[in-house]
Structure 1
Amino acid sequence: MTGMPKRRQEMLFWKKPGPVDFIVAGLGNPGLRYSGTRHNIGFRVIDELSRRHGIPVDRNRFQALAGTGVIGTGPGERGVNVLLLKPQTYMNLSGRSIQAAASFYKIPIGRIIVVFDDVCLPVGKLRVRKKGSDGGHNGIKSVIEMCGSEDFPRLKVGVGSPGEGRDLVDWVTSVFEGADRERIERVIPVAADAVEHMLTGDFDGAAGKFNGRFVE
Protein backbone atom coordinates (compact mmCIF):
# COMPACT_ATOMS: atom_id res chain seq x y z
CA MET A 1 0.00 0.00 0.00
CA THR A 2 3.03 2.29 0.00
CA GLY A 3 2.17 3.80 -3.40
CA MET A 4 -1.47 4.36 -2.52
CA PRO A 5 -2.67 7.91 -1.78
CA LYS A 6 -2.99 8.61 1.94
CA ARG A 7 -6.73 9.29 1.78
CA ARG A 8 -7.33 5.96 0.02
CA GLN A 9 -5.27 4.17 2.67
CA GLU A 10 -7.36 5.81 5.39
CA MET A 11 -10.63 4.78 3.76
CA LEU A 12 -9.46 1.18 3.45
CA PHE A 13 -8.46 1.21 7.10
CA TRP A 14 -11.84 2.48 8.22
CA LYS A 15 -13.95 0.34 5.89
CA LYS A 16 -15.63 -2.35 7.95
CA PRO A 17 -18.56 -4.57 6.96
CA GLY A 18 -21.27 -5.41 9.42
CA PRO A 19 -24.27 -3.91 11.20
CA VAL A 20 -22.23 -1.26 13.03
CA ASP A 21 -19.21 0.67 11.74
CA PHE A 22 -18.76 3.02 14.70
CA ILE A 23 -19.93 3.41 18.26
CA VAL A 24 -20.62 6.99 19.32
CA ALA A 25 -20.97 7.15 23.10
CA GLY A 26 -21.93 10.27 25.00
CA LEU A 27 -21.07 10.24 28.69
CA GLY A 28 -23.36 11.37 31.49
CA ASN A 29 -25.38 10.31 34.52
CA PRO A 30 -28.89 8.81 34.35
CA GLY A 31 -31.99 10.31 35.92
CA LEU A 32 -33.81 13.63 36.06
CA ARG A 33 -31.52 14.86 38.83
CA TYR A 34 -28.65 15.15 36.34
CA SER A 35 -30.60 16.26 33.28
CA GLY A 36 -29.11 19.39 31.77
CA THR A 37 -25.99 19.38 33.94
CA ARG A 38 -22.48 20.05 32.69
CA HIS A 39 -21.47 16.43 33.21
CA ASN A 40 -24.29 15.31 30.89
CA ILE A 41 -23.24 17.27 27.82
CA GLY A 42 -22.28 13.99 26.12
CA PHE A 43 -25.91 12.84 26.39
CA ARG A 44 -27.06 16.13 24.84
CA VAL A 45 -24.84 15.63 21.79
CA ILE A 46 -26.17 12.09 21.33
CA ASP A 47 -29.71 13.49 21.56
CA GLU A 48 -28.89 15.97 18.79
CA LEU A 49 -27.49 13.24 16.53
CA SER A 50 -30.57 11.13 17.30
CA ARG A 51 -32.89 13.99 16.33
CA ARG A 52 -31.02 14.88 13.13
CA HIS A 53 -30.79 11.39 11.75
CA GLY A 54 -33.99 9.84 13.05
CA ILE A 55 -32.24 7.29 15.23
CA PRO A 56 -34.26 6.56 18.40
CA VAL A 57 -31.95 6.02 21.38
CA ASP A 58 -34.42 4.20 23.59
CA ARG A 59 -33.44 0.52 23.71
CA ASN A 60 -32.08 -0.83 26.98
CA ARG A 61 -28.91 -2.65 25.93
CA PHE A 62 -25.36 -2.87 27.26
CA GLN A 63 -26.41 -1.08 30.49
CA ALA A 64 -27.24 1.89 28.28
CA LEU A 65 -29.87 3.56 26.17
CA ALA A 66 -28.95 2.59 22.63
CA GLY A 67 -30.02 2.99 19.04
CA THR A 68 -28.63 1.97 15.66
CA GLY A 69 -28.99 3.76 12.35
CA VAL A 70 -27.19 5.45 9.50
CA ILE A 71 -25.47 8.84 9.64
CA GLY A 72 -24.63 10.40 6.30
CA THR A 73 -21.08 11.69 5.87
CA GLY A 74 -21.47 13.70 2.68
CA PRO A 75 -23.23 13.91 -0.71
CA GLY A 76 -23.07 10.62 -2.57
CA GLU A 77 -21.69 8.72 0.42
CA ARG A 78 -23.43 5.57 1.62
CA GLY A 79 -23.37 6.82 5.19
CA VAL A 80 -22.01 5.12 8.28
CA ASN A 81 -23.79 2.50 10.37
CA VAL A 82 -23.59 3.72 13.96
CA LEU A 83 -24.58 2.66 17.43
CA LEU A 84 -25.50 5.72 19.49
CA LEU A 85 -24.98 4.99 23.17
CA LYS A 86 -25.86 6.73 26.45
CA PRO A 87 -24.41 4.60 29.28
CA GLN A 88 -26.74 4.36 32.29
CA THR A 89 -24.08 3.08 34.69
CA TYR A 90 -23.29 6.51 36.15
CA MET A 91 -20.25 8.34 34.90
CA ASN A 92 -17.53 6.47 36.80
CA LEU A 93 -18.54 3.10 35.31
CA SER A 94 -19.19 4.23 31.73
CA GLY A 95 -16.53 1.89 30.38
CA ARG A 96 -18.59 -1.19 31.28
CA SER A 97 -21.32 -0.21 28.86
CA ILE A 98 -18.99 0.84 26.06
CA GLN A 99 -16.83 -2.28 26.35
CA ALA A 100 -19.91 -4.53 26.31
CA ALA A 101 -21.21 -2.89 23.13
CA ALA A 102 -17.80 -2.98 21.45
CA SER A 103 -17.39 -6.65 22.32
CA PHE A 104 -20.85 -7.55 21.00
CA TYR A 105 -20.38 -5.77 17.67
CA LYS A 106 -16.64 -6.56 17.45
CA ILE A 107 -15.78 -2.87 17.08
CA PRO A 108 -12.05 -2.04 17.28
CA ILE A 109 -10.93 0.68 19.67
CA GLY A 110 -10.27 3.17 16.85
CA ARG A 111 -13.96 3.18 15.89
CA ILE A 112 -15.28 4.13 19.32
CA ILE A 113 -15.95 7.88 19.52
CA VAL A 114 -16.57 9.21 23.03
CA VAL A 115 -18.15 12.62 23.67
CA PHE A 116 -17.73 14.16 27.12
CA ASP A 117 -17.42 17.33 29.18
CA ASP A 118 -14.11 19.09 29.80
CA VAL A 119 -13.68 21.62 32.62
CA CYS A 120 -10.36 22.77 31.16
CA LEU A 121 -12.14 24.26 28.15
CA PRO A 122 -14.46 27.27 28.31
CA VAL A 123 -18.07 26.97 27.23
CA GLY A 124 -17.95 27.48 23.47
CA LYS A 125 -14.80 25.44 22.79
CA LEU A 126 -14.51 21.92 21.38
CA ARG A 127 -11.48 19.69 21.06
CA VAL A 128 -11.07 16.60 18.87
CA ARG A 129 -8.42 14.09 19.90
CA LYS A 130 -7.40 10.79 18.26
CA LYS A 131 -6.34 9.31 21.60
CA GLY A 132 -4.94 10.31 24.96
CA SER A 133 -4.96 9.88 28.72
CA ASP A 134 -8.03 10.31 30.92
CA GLY A 135 -7.01 13.86 31.86
CA GLY A 136 -8.58 13.40 35.28
CA HIS A 137 -12.02 12.56 33.86
CA ASN A 138 -13.44 9.54 35.66
CA GLY A 139 -15.69 8.50 32.79
CA ILE A 140 -12.76 8.40 30.39
CA LYS A 141 -10.69 6.61 33.02
CA SER A 142 -13.34 3.89 33.13
CA VAL A 143 -13.39 3.57 29.32
CA ILE A 144 -9.60 3.20 29.23
CA GLU A 145 -9.64 0.60 32.02
CA MET A 146 -12.44 -1.49 30.54
CA CYS A 147 -11.31 -1.30 26.90
CA GLY A 148 -7.63 -1.69 27.79
CA SER A 149 -6.45 1.17 25.59
CA GLU A 150 -6.23 4.97 25.33
CA ASP A 151 -6.35 4.79 21.54
CA PHE A 152 -9.96 5.81 20.97
CA PRO A 153 -11.01 9.12 19.37
CA ARG A 154 -12.90 11.55 21.50
CA LEU A 155 -14.65 14.91 21.40
CA LYS A 156 -14.24 17.17 24.40
CA VAL A 157 -16.96 19.76 24.96
CA GLY A 158 -15.98 22.71 27.11
CA VAL A 159 -18.16 23.28 30.17
CA GLY A 160 -16.00 25.88 31.90
CA SER A 161 -13.90 25.83 35.05
CA PRO A 162 -15.43 25.96 38.53
CA GLY A 163 -12.97 28.60 39.59
CA GLU A 164 -11.22 28.95 42.91
CA GLY A 165 -13.07 27.70 45.95
CA ARG A 166 -15.84 25.76 44.23
CA ASP A 167 -16.03 21.99 44.52
CA LEU A 168 -15.47 20.24 41.19
CA VAL A 169 -18.20 17.63 41.69
CA ASP A 170 -20.68 20.33 42.62
CA TRP A 171 -19.70 22.25 39.49
CA VAL A 172 -20.04 19.44 36.95
CA THR A 173 -23.38 18.35 38.41
CA SER A 174 -24.77 21.89 38.20
CA VAL A 175 -26.84 23.21 35.31
CA PHE A 176 -25.69 25.90 32.90
CA GLU A 177 -26.87 29.39 33.78
CA GLY A 178 -27.04 32.81 32.15
CA ALA A 179 -24.80 33.34 29.12
CA ASP A 180 -23.35 29.82 29.45
CA ARG A 181 -26.83 28.34 29.15
CA GLU A 182 -27.52 30.28 25.97
CA ARG A 183 -24.13 29.47 24.47
CA ILE A 184 -24.23 25.74 25.19
CA GLU A 185 -27.44 25.50 23.15
CA ARG A 186 -25.45 26.83 20.19
CA VAL A 187 -22.49 24.55 20.95
CA ILE A 188 -24.44 21.29 20.85
CA PRO A 189 -25.26 21.41 17.10
CA VAL A 190 -21.63 22.27 16.32
CA ALA A 191 -20.48 19.34 18.46
CA ALA A 192 -22.79 17.08 16.45
CA ASP A 193 -21.22 18.48 13.27
CA ALA A 194 -17.81 17.54 14.67
CA VAL A 195 -18.92 13.96 15.36
CA GLU A 196 -20.27 13.66 11.82
CA HIS A 197 -16.88 14.77 10.48
CA MET A 198 -15.10 12.28 12.75
CA LEU A 199 -17.25 9.48 11.34
CA THR A 200 -15.42 9.88 8.02
CA GLY A 201 -12.24 8.72 9.80
CA ASP A 202 -10.56 12.06 9.07
CA PHE A 203 -9.71 12.99 12.65
CA ASP A 204 -6.93 15.38 11.65
CA GLY A 205 -9.37 17.22 9.41
CA ALA A 206 -11.96 17.33 12.18
CA ALA A 207 -9.39 18.69 14.62
CA GLY A 208 -8.29 21.32 12.12
CA LYS A 209 -11.86 22.44 11.54
CA PHE A 210 -13.23 22.44 15.08
CA ASN A 211 -10.37 22.76 17.59
CA GLY A 212 -9.60 26.40 16.87
CA ARG A 213 -13.20 27.47 16.79
CA PHE A 214 -15.11 29.35 19.48
CA VAL A 215 -18.90 29.23 19.40
CA GLU A 216 -20.18 32.66 20.41
Structure 2
Amino acid sequence: MADNRFLLVGLGNPGPEYEQTRHNVGFIFLDYLAQKTGCRIEGQKMEGLYAQARGFGGQLLFLKPQTYMNRSGGSVRAFADYFKIPKGRILVLHDDLDLATGRIKVVGKGGAGGHNGIRSIAQHLGGADFARVKIGIGRPPQNEQGRGQPVDRYVLSRMHSDEMQLFEQRFAVVEEAVELFVCDGIDRCMNSINGRF
Protein backbone atom coordinates (compact mmCIF):
# COMPACT_ATOMS: atom_id res chain seq x y z
CA MET A 1 0.00 0.00 0.00
CA ALA A 2 1.41 3.38 -0.99
CA ASP A 3 2.33 5.79 1.76
CA ASN A 4 -0.27 8.56 1.86
CA ARG A 5 1.25 10.78 4.53
CA PHE A 6 1.08 14.51 3.83
CA LEU A 7 2.88 17.39 5.52
CA LEU A 8 0.67 20.43 6.11
CA VAL A 9 2.70 23.47 7.16
CA GLY A 10 1.30 26.70 8.58
CA LEU A 11 3.64 29.68 8.61
CA GLY A 12 3.82 32.30 11.35
CA ASN A 13 5.91 33.60 14.21
CA PRO A 14 5.90 31.98 17.66
CA GLY A 15 4.93 33.73 20.86
CA PRO A 16 1.86 35.51 22.23
CA GLU A 17 2.94 38.90 20.86
CA TYR A 18 2.39 37.58 17.32
CA GLU A 19 -0.99 35.93 17.86
CA GLN A 20 -3.77 37.22 15.59
CA THR A 21 -1.29 39.15 13.42
CA ARG A 22 -1.61 39.08 9.64
CA HIS A 23 1.70 37.26 9.21
CA ASN A 24 0.30 34.42 11.34
CA VAL A 25 -2.74 33.49 9.26
CA GLY A 26 -0.94 30.27 8.28
CA PHE A 27 -0.90 29.25 11.96
CA ILE A 28 -4.55 30.24 12.37
CA PHE A 29 -5.76 28.18 9.42
CA LEU A 30 -3.60 25.18 10.36
CA ASP A 31 -5.02 25.19 13.89
CA TYR A 32 -8.51 25.11 12.39
CA LEU A 33 -7.62 22.16 10.12
CA ALA A 34 -6.11 20.22 13.02
CA GLN A 35 -9.20 20.88 15.12
CA LYS A 36 -11.37 19.44 12.32
CA THR A 37 -9.45 16.17 12.58
CA GLY A 38 -9.82 16.15 16.38
CA CYS A 39 -6.24 16.99 17.33
CA ARG A 40 -4.25 19.90 18.72
CA ILE A 41 -0.81 20.96 17.49
CA GLU A 42 1.09 20.58 20.75
CA GLY A 43 3.93 18.09 20.22
CA GLN A 44 7.44 19.54 20.05
CA LYS A 45 10.21 18.26 17.83
CA MET A 46 12.82 19.59 15.41
CA GLU A 47 12.10 23.27 16.10
CA GLY A 48 8.39 22.89 15.43
CA LEU A 49 5.03 22.23 17.03
CA TYR A 50 3.35 19.25 15.38
CA ALA A 51 0.51 16.74 15.48
CA GLN A 52 -0.46 13.65 13.51
CA ALA A 53 -3.98 12.63 12.55
CA ARG A 54 -6.05 10.91 9.93
CA GLY A 55 -8.33 13.18 7.97
CA PHE A 56 -9.22 14.66 4.59
CA GLY A 57 -8.50 11.28 2.99
CA GLY A 58 -4.94 10.78 4.21
CA GLN A 59 -2.47 10.51 7.06
CA LEU A 60 -1.66 14.10 8.02
CA LEU A 61 1.28 15.69 9.74
CA PHE A 62 0.57 19.25 10.91
CA LEU A 63 3.59 21.51 11.46
CA LYS A 64 4.00 25.04 12.83
CA PRO A 65 7.73 25.95 12.65
CA GLN A 66 8.83 27.79 15.79
CA THR A 67 11.97 29.34 14.34
CA TYR A 68 10.45 32.67 13.26
CA MET A 69 9.31 33.19 9.71
CA ASN A 70 12.60 33.72 7.90
CA ARG A 71 14.06 30.42 9.20
CA SER A 72 10.98 28.20 8.72
CA GLY A 73 12.70 25.99 6.17
CA GLY A 74 14.97 24.19 8.61
CA SER A 75 12.07 22.70 10.56
CA VAL A 76 10.14 21.84 7.39
CA ARG A 77 13.15 20.04 5.91
CA ALA A 78 13.77 18.15 9.16
CA PHE A 79 10.18 16.88 9.28
CA ALA A 80 10.13 16.03 5.56
CA ASP A 81 13.35 14.02 5.93
CA TYR A 82 12.40 12.28 9.18
CA PHE A 83 8.95 11.22 7.95
CA LYS A 84 10.16 10.65 4.35
CA ILE A 85 7.63 13.03 2.80
CA PRO A 86 8.47 14.16 -0.75
CA LYS A 87 7.92 17.74 -1.91
CA GLY A 88 4.86 16.66 -3.89
CA ARG A 89 3.04 15.85 -0.63
CA ILE A 90 3.88 19.10 1.17
CA LEU A 91 1.28 21.89 1.36
CA VAL A 92 2.23 25.24 2.93
CA LEU A 93 -0.39 27.72 4.16
CA HIS A 94 0.78 31.33 4.33
CA ASP A 95 -0.21 34.98 4.11
CA ASP A 96 0.06 36.87 0.82
CA LEU A 97 0.27 40.67 0.50
CA ASP A 98 -0.54 40.68 -3.21
CA LEU A 99 -3.95 39.04 -2.79
CA ALA A 100 -6.93 41.01 -1.51
CA THR A 101 -7.86 40.25 2.09
CA GLY A 102 -9.73 36.95 2.24
CA ARG A 103 -8.83 35.81 -1.26
CA ILE A 104 -7.59 32.21 -1.44
CA LYS A 105 -5.26 30.96 -4.19
CA VAL A 106 -3.64 27.54 -4.56
CA VAL A 107 -0.38 27.14 -6.49
CA GLY A 108 1.74 24.10 -7.21
CA LYS A 109 5.09 25.89 -7.32
CA GLY A 110 6.62 29.28 -7.99
CA GLY A 111 8.84 31.96 -6.53
CA ALA A 112 8.73 33.31 -3.01
CA GLY A 113 7.09 36.59 -4.03
CA GLY A 114 8.96 38.39 -1.27
CA HIS A 115 7.74 35.99 1.43
CA ASN A 116 10.69 35.10 3.67
CA GLY A 117 9.09 31.92 4.98
CA ILE A 118 8.55 30.52 1.48
CA ARG A 119 12.06 31.56 0.48
CA SER A 120 13.53 29.71 3.46
CA ILE A 121 11.54 26.55 2.72
CA ALA A 122 12.59 26.59 -0.95
CA GLN A 123 16.23 26.96 0.06
CA HIS A 124 16.09 24.07 2.52
CA LEU A 125 14.09 21.77 0.24
CA GLY A 126 16.32 22.50 -2.75
CA GLY A 127 13.56 23.95 -4.91
CA ALA A 128 10.26 25.80 -4.92
CA ASP A 129 8.18 22.96 -6.41
CA PHE A 130 5.92 22.45 -3.40
CA ALA A 131 2.24 23.37 -3.14
CA ARG A 132 0.90 26.37 -1.26
CA VAL A 133 -2.39 27.84 -0.16
CA LYS A 134 -1.97 31.61 -0.34
CA ILE A 135 -4.24 33.51 2.01
CA GLY A 136 -4.68 37.14 0.99
CA ILE A 137 -4.08 39.82 3.61
CA GLY A 138 -3.99 42.77 1.17
CA ARG A 139 -1.58 45.66 1.31
CA PRO A 140 -1.61 48.50 3.84
CA PRO A 141 -4.27 51.10 3.01
CA GLN A 142 -2.87 54.41 1.77
CA ASN A 143 -3.80 57.94 2.76
CA GLU A 144 -4.49 60.81 0.37
CA GLN A 145 -0.74 61.42 -0.01
CA GLY A 146 -0.26 57.81 -1.16
CA ARG A 147 1.45 56.77 2.05
CA GLY A 148 0.57 53.73 4.09
CA GLN A 149 1.86 51.80 7.05
CA PRO A 150 5.26 50.17 6.32
CA VAL A 151 4.77 46.60 5.12
CA ASP A 152 6.85 45.05 7.90
CA ARG A 153 4.75 46.79 10.54
CA TYR A 154 1.50 45.98 8.72
CA VAL A 155 2.07 42.22 8.54
CA LEU A 156 3.05 42.11 12.21
CA SER A 157 0.01 44.13 13.33
CA ARG A 158 -3.02 42.45 14.87
CA MET A 159 -5.99 41.98 12.60
CA HIS A 160 -9.23 43.90 13.04
CA SER A 161 -12.38 41.98 13.94
CA ASP A 162 -13.81 42.30 10.43
CA GLU A 163 -10.66 40.74 8.98
CA MET A 164 -10.87 37.84 11.42
CA GLN A 165 -14.53 37.29 10.53
CA LEU A 166 -13.64 37.20 6.83
CA PHE A 167 -10.91 34.63 7.43
CA GLU A 168 -13.30 32.52 9.48
CA GLN A 169 -15.63 32.52 6.47
CA ARG A 170 -12.76 31.12 4.40
CA PHE A 171 -11.98 28.21 6.75
CA ALA A 172 -14.30 25.86 4.85
CA VAL A 173 -12.71 26.77 1.50
CA VAL A 174 -9.22 25.97 2.77
CA GLU A 175 -10.54 22.75 4.31
CA GLU A 176 -11.93 21.79 0.89
CA ALA A 177 -8.61 22.71 -0.74
CA VAL A 178 -6.70 20.40 1.61
CA GLU A 179 -9.07 17.50 0.94
CA LEU A 180 -8.80 18.01 -2.82
CA PHE A 181 -5.00 18.19 -2.60
CA VAL A 182 -4.79 15.00 -0.56
CA CYS A 183 -7.35 13.00 -2.52
CA ASP A 184 -7.04 14.30 -6.08
CA GLY A 185 -3.76 16.19 -6.38
CA ILE A 186 -2.66 19.76 -6.89
CA ASP A 187 -4.13 20.29 -10.39
CA ARG A 188 -7.67 19.35 -9.36
CA CYS A 189 -7.25 21.45 -6.24
CA MET A 190 -6.20 24.56 -8.19
CA ASN A 191 -8.94 24.11 -10.79
CA SER A 192 -11.63 23.83 -8.14
CA ILE A 193 -10.52 26.51 -5.66
CA ASN A 194 -8.92 29.30 -7.67
CA GLY A 195 -11.10 32.08 -8.99
CA ARG A 196 -13.89 31.74 -6.42
CA PHE A 197 -13.09 34.99 -4.67
* Interval containing the TM-score (normalised by the shorter chain): over 0.9
Task: Kindly indicate whether residue 167 of structure 2 is the aligned counterpart of residue 167 of structure 1.
Answer: no
Q: Are residue 137 (structure 1) and residue 115 (structure 2) matched?
A: yes
TM-score, normalised by the number of residues in structure 2: 0.92
- The 5 A counterparts of 1:49-128 are 49-72=33-56, 79-128=57-106
User: Structure 1 segments of 4 or more deviating over 6 A?
Assistant: none
Q: 2:176 and 2:28 mapped to 1: Cα distance?
A: 13
Distance in 1 separating the partners of 2:51 and 2:162: 32
Residue 155 of structure 1 and its aligned partner are, at CA, apart by: 0.6
Per-residue deviation at 1:39? 0.5
User: How far off its partner does 1:111 sit?
Assistant: 0.9
1:76 maps to none
Partners of 1:125 and 1:211 within 8 A in 2: no
Deviation at 1:189, TM superposition (A): 3.1
Quick one: structure 1 residues 201 and 96, their matched pair in 2 at CA, closer, same or farther if it must change by over 3 Å? farther
The CA distance in 1 between the partners of 2:184 and 2:16, in whole Å, is 34
Question: Which blocks of at least 5 consecutive residues in structure 1 are unaligned?
Answer: 1-14, 73-78
User: 14, 20, 24: which is aligned to 1:36?
Assistant: 20
Please give the root-mean-square deviation of Cα atoms over the aligned residues, in Å: 1.5
Task: State which drifts further: 104-113 or 159-168.
Answer: 159-168
1:6-61 Cα distance to aligned partner (Å, 9 max, x none): xxxxxxxxx732xx611000000001100011110111111111111112211001
Within-5 A mapping of 1:17-28: 17=3, 21-28=5-12
Between 140-149 and 200-209, the greater mean CA deviation after superposition: 200-209
- The aligned counterpart of 1:192 is 175
Q: In structure 2, what is the Cα distance between the partners aligned to 1:16 and 1:169? A: 43
Distance in 1 (CA, whole Å) between partners of 2:104 and 2:91 is: 14
Whole-angstrom distance in 2 between the partners of 1:201 and 1:96: 28
In structure 1, distance between residues paired with 2:184 and 2:127:
18
- SS state at 1:200 partner: helix
Q: Percent of pairs identical after alignment?
A: 39
Match of 1:12 in 2: none
CA distance, structure 2, for counterparts of residue 193 and residue 35 of structure 1: 25
Question: 184-193 or 116-125: which moved more?
Answer: 184-193
Query: Secondary structure of 1:199's partner?
Result: helix
> Which digits, 9 at most, give the CA deviation of each residue in 1:74-115, with x for residues without a partner?
xxxxx3011100110000000011000001011111111100
Moved more, 156-165 or 126-135: 156-165
For structure 2, the residue ranges without an aligned partner over 5 or more in a row are 142-146
Conservation of the 8 A alpha-carbon contact between 1:44 and 1:188:
no
Paired residue secondary structure (2:183): coil
In the alignment of these two chains, the number of paired residues is 192
Deviation at 1:187, TM superposition (A): 1.7
Query: TM-score under structure 1 normalisation?
Result: 0.84
Matched, 1:202 2:189: no
How far off is 1:176 after superposition?
1.6
Q: Which residue number corresponds to residue 7 of structure 1?
A: none
Report the Cα distance in structure 1 between the residues aligned to 2:2 and 2:149, rounded to whole angstroms.
46
